[in-house]
Structure 1
């Protein structure tokens, strides 16, 4: 067993979980940074596919991603390492800090911390979204990419569940024309 790899899996998901204040969506850019940029365990396209599939399944997104990536990179031990490290920060915080946060939840300092983190999470998600848009433009062409963004946004605003949107986009990918928009044959 490669202990260095197991340590890297543990540290990458522990770090993502520990710094992912605000829940699952805030951890996605952190996992991306670890998995794609730092350790190069996946490509952009593989991560995008994993993110799409993870969004269609029930449960917390970080644990789904951790389980899959850990298994893919380090087998069963890697999966267990990734799952434990992604859940451990939450358990530790619940045990040690929940009493403190409940006691001071009305404090302007605690409310200010929460308010200050929200824009940072928004920027991280926007950055990740932009990288996906650029990738879509490269793979589909601007016409299809913009069309899918607009249609997806409208359907989401109308209340269509994200899993249905993802399923529809998978069908689109299966049946879309093979050439990029704007290319001549």
Structure 2
């Protein structure tokens, strides 16, 4: 059995790593949090992580901080949530304070521009890998046709109609709750038509 201090240490180290290595904002940190929570420490299954991510996206505020708070709370209630959030945000806070005076010099540096250009493809691949894994799970759960249709509908709602992501997530959560009932009804109707 894990001791309390060991779990607090794990939370601190996991969120410290995500806070330091999470370059590019909330969405780029999610694969790092998934690695820590699902693969390294096994706090959540991949399904649980996906559900938590969907719910966290529906709430206001930074996604990475909400995920850190949830993981901390899940492990050690309120003290765990506080430690996880502080471990996640403090490295960035200290780095911002330390680098604030050098912003003007660094912003025009070709070295910094090169570093940013070098990191961007890595973030794109990390996000693409995570999206592929979630898409694969959607196709496995819904089937190829419904999974592909869901992807197209979500894309249109987010990009063309520009609905808020929380609204789209809530719509798909509602559909997900009804999916198997609708599928069973459709199969019954199809079977009844064949019998006629």
TM > 0.5 fold call: yes
Q: Secondary structure at the match of 2:24?
A: coil
Does 1:173 pair with 2:176? yes
Q: 2:134 aligns with which of 124, 132, 135?
A: 132
Partner of 1:96: 98
Runs of 4+ in 1 over 6 A off after TM superposition: none
- Kindly state the Cα deviation for residue 56 of structure 1 after the two structures are TM-superposed: 1.1
> Partner of 2:193 in structure 1?
none
**2-side partners of 1:171 and 1:157: how far apart?**
20
- Partner of 2:107, secondary structure, is coil
SS of the residue 1:42 aligns to = coil
Q: 1:44 and 1:180, CA in 2 relative to 1: closer, same or farther beyond 3 A?
A: farther
Question: What corresponds to 1:56 in structure 2?
Answer: 58
How far 1:29 sits from its partner (Å)?
A: 0.3
**Map of 1:117 onto structure 2:** 119
Residue 91 of structure 1 and its aligned partner are, at CA, apart by 0.7
Question: Greater Rg, structure 1 or structure 2?
Answer: 2
User: What corresponds to 1:21 in structure 2?
Assistant: 23
Question: Which of 57, 75, 79 is residue 77 of structure 2 equivalent to?
Answer: 75
Deviations 1:30-77 (A, max 9, x none): 000000011000011111111111111111111111111100012222
TM-score (norm 2): 0.88
Could you say which residue in structure 2 is the equivalent of 1:33?
35
**Once the 2 structures are TM-superposed, how far is the Cα of residue 18 of structure 1 from its aligned partner?**
0.5
Structure showing the higher helix proportion among its residues: 2
Judged with a 3 Å threshold, the aligned counterparts in structure 2 of structure 1 residues 37 and 180 are, in CA distance, closer, same or farther, namely farther
Structure 2 unaligned residues grouped into runs of 5+ = 189-196
Distance 1:68 1:107, change over 3 A: same
In the TM superposition, what is the alpha-carbon distance from 1:101 to its structure 2 partner? 3.4
C-alpha separation in 1, matches of 2:100 and 2:22? 17
The verdict on how the C-alpha distance between 1:175 and 1:104 changes in structure 2, with shifts beyond 3 A counting, is: same
* Equivalent residue pairs, number: 183
Superposition RMSD in Å: 1.7
Contact 1:140 1:180 in 2 (8 A): no
Runs of 5+ consecutive residues of structure 1 not aligned to the other structure: none
Distance in 2 of aligned mates of 1:143 and 1:74:
41
Residues in 2 aligned to 1:38 and 1:72: alpha-carbon distance in whole angstroms: 16
1:42 paired residue number = 44
Contact 1:16–1:31 (Cα < 8 Å) also in 2: yes
